[in-house]
Structure 1
């Protein structure tokens, strides 16, 4: 649970989608419960608005943190996430973030979540010496 609030580390596409859909599902469920309580007058309207607002803020913070971890898997700084706020550019980055596979092997943000090792290109001198 603690790693939902930490900016460190990397996050695979599948884990990103699982977490984001889980957070949105919980937020939607919370919204439905609070609305039902407000409709049945078991909860004052001001209290319902406060509880729903708090859930929206919490869900947004968690999704932003998960997006930054996804950017880390692409070997990009979390500051690139600011581009998500720009129309058209943000759409392209948001889609690309989901379609592009993370960098192989460890990068500056941590080990590969898939456990792959980095691809090392051999030089032509190494290739010729191994062929002999």
Structure 2
């Protein structure tokens, strides 16, 4: 449950590291919320084809897209930091068509197993390995 809430607690936190689990949790949540918005948007358009309803739905979608951009960028930067690369690589997310590929690749690369320049290993790293060895 912590991995579900963690990306939302760290909204706007562009420092530190994020595990693959935290990254994928955020990306899946954002995708599901977007799909729900689209479904509600289409349903509202078919049941109440009013310009006022469409305007309100459009504004809600715009607010969601801004929040999603901040959440996705912050978790993406922390994920990139996990494998010891500069967070500016997150700009590849915003390249049309190639951004999805970049998101998948960044979500699959394993992090450095010990401390790097952006902080300690979020999975516990060597300290955890010493406990179980």
Is the shorter-chain TM-score for this pair beyond 0.5, marking a shared fold?
yes
Aligned-partner SS, 2:106: helix
State the partner residue of 1:6: 13
Selected match of 2:75 from 66, 76, 90: 66
In terms of fraction of residues, the more helix-rich structure is 2
Q: Any gaps of 5 or more consecutive residues in structure 1?
A: 119-132
Q: CA deviation at 1:92?
A: 6.7
* Cα offsets for 1:82-120 (capped at 9, x unmatched): 2444579867754442332101111121210110128xx
* Cα offsets for 1:3-46 (capped at 9, x unmatched): 13311221111221111101211222133224423432286221
TM-score of the aligned structures, taking structure 2 as reference length: 0.71
After the TM superposition, which of the residue ranges 82-91 and 22-31 deviates more from structure 2? 82-91
Selected match of 2:112 from 68, 92, 103: 103
Q: Any gaps of 5 or more consecutive residues in structure 2?
A: 1-7, 128-133
Cα 1:82/1:109, change in 2 over 3 Å? same
Q: What do you get for the CA RMSD once the two structures are aligned?
A: 2.8
State the partner residue of 1:19: 26
Q: CA separation in 2, counterparts of 1:37 and 1:87?
A: 29
Aligned-partner SS, 2:15: coil
Q: CA separation in 1, counterparts of 2:37 and 2:10?
A: 22
* Cα offsets for 1:49-107 (capped at 9, x unmatched): 11122222221221121111110101112112224445798677544423321011111
